[in-house]
Chains A and B, each alone.
Chain A
Amino acid sequence: MKLITHNMLTSKCLKGVVTGYPLAINATDIKVKEVDFNPEFISRVIPKLDWEVLWVAADSIGHSDGLPRSLENKYDENEEFLKKAHKVLLEVEVEEGHLTCPESGRQFPISKGIPNMLLNEAEVQ
């Protein structure tokens, strides 16, 4: 699971849960896999994300080094920043661990890099 994906995950479907966001990450295995850097993509996708949530997530698994907690003006012109954002968004992958709903404590396992968001029909609203 890449952190850009984590930025979109929620446990709001659970019965009794209001926002279910963000999910806490508990990682037992993290890998950093180098992938192609596309600055245009990074600068265009950042406005669609919740940056604060991304930073906290990166920090919680020890990958927030040098990453600003809030976005600076004209970040899209800062190549060094875009490279750091690229790494945190696309290269850091949680291989094993689990996600935890902030309200109910329900855990979602992450195995072989895939978060399992399936719920029983009895658990849903």
Chain B
Amino acid sequence: MEDDRKHEKKRKRFAARLNTLKGIVCYEDPRPNVILCNVGQATGFDKQKLLKLLTEYKVNTPLPKFVAEKGESYSYLMFDKAENASLFYEACNGKAQVDENGTTLYVTFVENVPDTDIICKHPNPKGLHIIPDFLTEDEEKLFLNTFNIQHVETTLKNRQVKHYGYEFRYGSNDVDLSCPLQEKIPKICKLLWRRLQHYGYDLGVPVQLTVNKYLPGQGIPSHVDKHSPFGETILALSLGSNVVMDWKHHTGKYVPVMVEARSMMIMQDEARYDWQHGIQPRMWDPVLDVRLIDNEKVKVITSDTVQREMRISLTFRWTRCGPCKCEYKMLCDSIERNIPETISNDVASNIEDIHVHQVYEQIAGHFSTTRHKPWPKVVDFMQHVPAGSIVLDLGCGNGKNILNRTDILQVAGERSSGLLEECKGLTARISGADCIRLDLLNTGLKDECADFIICVAVVHHFSTQARRLHSLQTIHRLLRTNGQALITVWAKDQTKSSYLSRTRAPLLDRHKLTVGGIHLPVHENRTQFQHKDLLVPWNLRSKAPPLQQPDTTFLRYYHVFDEGELDQLCRDARLAIVRSFYEEGNWCVVCMKV
């Protein structure tokens, strides 16, 4: 009796605390939903432990839905009816021990449960097949013994890798057929081909194997296995741990797929050629659930999570020669078109929309915090502008180049609304400053309205020669006769700037991204540029939970300039060069309309 009173007091104290701290209203009379006051994601309580608890305390109700929000030390159960919730309450509240330390569970009823589930509308990619329990547990042990790579063979940022048959070259994402490796695919794998045949996959024997070892927290960026060097089937055997693999289609479809340990994944058709797949670098995975909604089986990403363990994946490939013959052109490397000569204005505009405009909107807040000081050469130019002048800052960003002067008009134009709002705030107290949202190609400003123009770090975001020229022609159009402009762009040569890291060696391209059939290499930050047209990663620092913010690296398109290239572009736009110089990794030109 004494114990009961003590437990009841404790339970009420928990309920009161949930109310004051989290605004959760607890009820004494039975309802279908209960809250487990003192166990949740933060205390390490998960679905497995719940199932154990239900068995141990003989709760024979239909299985309740378990909802555990990230970072919280409470969780919810949703029963089908109040009677079943009551049965659970009677069996477990103040009685059940939830861990080895003998912590007692406290339960109370609630009306509402937060709906944190995400319904995944799309089916798995066509051509993706996963055979669960492909290996027995004993066979898995044998494979783990053979392939548990202990020392690093290839340096990759996030995982350890070993190759058999042929070395997979990360620079070009292919193999060198003239240089087979001594070490062939181990004999132990023979059982896989026989078993695949048994499942109806008569595929023959692959010639190349890549072993990846992932520790919890490690992942692999979204990619498609390059089309032309490899055959139409790719196999992946998983050992050690389940993992959720993210599949992304260029139409925007996103499908998370549970890849279980001991399963064999077969990638063909769309899954092989038209989807990208990757694994997020994190310690845990969401629990995926299949539910019947409107008589249709639908995949649900629940708020429940499971810890990852060490996972080893074996990727088997067949090699081939010649251009790829697939019918999926979006990610295919055999329809290579080059920037800048041949792409259409539509494709260029699309690249800039995805890899310039959208990126700046998404990173605006963080980007702005990293841009405080104007460059000395820009300040110098702006300080020499005579009183009574009209100055345009085209591509003003957060407005760091606007001077606190009352004797000139400074009109700040910018495409990103996020950056422009920062600029509006920053320049609010400057009497002759104002902001306009505009695009440098179609600028809603009158001809010859400006005495001076600055255009800092903008022109390198246009993806064709024609569009870069168009942007300079706009500057020419807006300047009065004898008006001057300062234009700066990123230089391909970064050797004379502080941009290069002393410790980071220029790696080969780790991967390329294909946008509308255009291949753009992804740059390794703080190393010398290897290409003229490329994508530069921006790592967004964000406090949002990873589930709601799956991508934190954004890729910005840049065309980096050779020496003399900007000068020629100015001359082509009928702007006379006053002076041109290199400053901290940028080519800069002061030019004049004559």
Q: Which residues of A contact B (CB under 8 A)?
A: 1-2, 4-5, 8-13, 21, 35-38, 40-41, 43-45, 48, 90, 108, 112-119, 121, 124
Contacts and interface: CB of A to CB of B under 8 A. Distances in A.
B434 interface: yes
8 contacts: A4-B409, A8-B390, A11-B444, A35-B406, A38-B431, A41-B407, A48-B451, A119-B444
A5 B485 CA distance: 19
A35 B407 CA distance: 12
Interface of B: 345-346, 349, 387-388, 390, 406-409, 411, 415, 417, 420-421, 424, 429-432, 434-439, 441-446, 449, 451
Nearest to B478: A8
B388 A41 contact: yes
Nearest to A125: B442
B579 to A, nearest CB: 26
A40 B446 contact: no
Contacts of A4: 409, 432, 434
A1 B436 CA distance: 8
A41 B409 CA distance: 8
A108 B415 CA distance: 14
Q: Which 6 A-B pairs have the closest CB atoms?
A: A44-B388, A117-B444, A35-B431, A38-B406, A13-B442, A5-B434
Given A13-B444, A41-B407, A113 B432 contact: no
A36 B438 contact: no
Contact of B432 (A10, A13, A41): A41
Contact of B408 (A13, A41, A121): A41
Given A5-B436, A44-B387, A45-B390, A117 B443 contact: yes
Contacts of B431: 35-38, 90
A24 to B, nearest CB: 14
Given A45-B409, A108-B444, A118 B429 contact: no
Nearest to A33: B428
Contacts of A45: 388, 390, 409
A11 B438 CA distance: 12
Contacts of A21: 446
Given A45-B390, A117-B445, 14 more contacts: A9-B436, A11-B444, A12-B444, A12-B446, A35-B430, A37-B431, A38-B406, A41-B387, A90-B431, A114-B435, A115-B436, A117-B439, A117-B443, A118-B437
Contacts of B451: 48
B369 to A, nearest CB: 20
